[in-house]
Amino acid sequence: MNLKIGVIVSVGPYTHQAADTAYHFVKAALRKGYDVPRVFFYHDGVAVSNRLQVPPQDERNVQRNWTALAQDAGIDLVVCVAAAQRRGVLDAKEAARLGKDSDTLAEGFRISGLGQMIEMAIQCDRIVTFGD
Ramachandran area for residue 80 (φ above 0: left; ψ -120 to 50: alpha; else beta): beta
Whether 80 is catalytic? yes
CB–CB of 8/121 below 8 Å? no
Catalytic residue among 80, 81, 83, 89: 80
Start-to-end C-alpha separation, the chain: 31
CB–CB of 103/92 below 8 Å? yes
Q: Is 18 exposed, middle or buried (0-12, 13-18, 19+ CB in 10 A)?
A: buried
Coil, helix or strand for 6?
A: strand
> Which residues does the annotation mark as catalytic?
80
